[in-house]
Amino acid sequence: MKIISWNVNGIRSVQSKGFAETLARLDADCILLQETKAQADQIDKALAGIDGYHIYSNCAERKGYSGVTILSRQAPLQIVNDMGIAEHDREGRVIVAEFEQFFLLDVYVPNSGEELARLDYRASWDTELLAYCRQLQGKKPLIACGDFNVAHREIDIARPKPNYNKSAGYTQVEIDGFSRFLDAGLVDTFRHFNPDTVTYSWWSFRAGARARNVGWRIDYVLTSEALVGKIKQAFILPDISGSDHCPVGIEIDF
């Protein structure tokens, strides 16, 4: 089974950049999208030419903002939107598909914002998401994919020193928050299989950052420890364009 996660930075925008052709080339069994920035009818329209998938979306109340979508060749047992916390659920950031052997969680973690204005909210979000992941893991193994909006270690960011505790996505609060997911028995699959590889998943649109590979690795596929032995590979696909993020994913045997 191939699982792909991709922050598309607006599904209607990426639709005009060869999106359908890219998905066909990726040939994934499950595709998890973040930051769709659209309502359900707009997402269905954008994906109308993509056949062979069941499509499930969780959209923000605010139009043109946030949003996550799962495309799955196999119909899941059930779909659950959000974490059940009103403060967080308005922004359409979480959707879970339950399959026979595992839960598949698609998440778009909040950015801490300019001048870290939303850092306190982000910290509370991380705490609640971790509790939700623990709840799911108590029932069956979990695969959690998405834009976690944090570079976990120095190897995950091109310029760590000027960004540390100054830029959203590389503060100690966010780093510690992410570490707690790993402490809870989730494995950063890319780093597990590629311990020394410098590869990024997001580049600013400013100053030609992508061309110069001044990037951050902030998109992850985390799995329960029980699933690691089933994973054939974990990968990042920086050559695939269309968004300021690139796809990440795993191949896993079930």
Given the residues 82, 106, 147, 219, select the one marked as catalytic.
Answer: 147
**Cα–Cα distance measured from residue 108 to residue 65, given in angstroms and rounded to the nearest whole number:** 11
**Cα–Cα distance measured from residue 79 to residue 98, given in angstroms and rounded to the nearest whole number:** 6
Given the residues 108, 132, 170, 220, select the one marked as catalytic.
Answer: 108
Residue where the block lists tokens 């595992």: 102
Distances (CA, A) of 79 to 23, 58, 96, 216: 22, 10, 6, 31
Which residues are CB-contacts of 135 (< 8 A; sequence separation ≥ 6)?
Answer: none
> 176 an active-site residue?
no
Which residues are CB-contacts of 77 (< 8 A; sequence separation ≥ 6)?
Answer: 98, 99, 100
SS3 115: helix
Distances (CA, A) of 22 to 18, 141, 153: 6, 29, 30
> 147 an active-site residue?
yes
SS3 content of the chain, % helix, strand, coil (to 5): 30, 25, 40
Positions marked catalytic? 108, 147
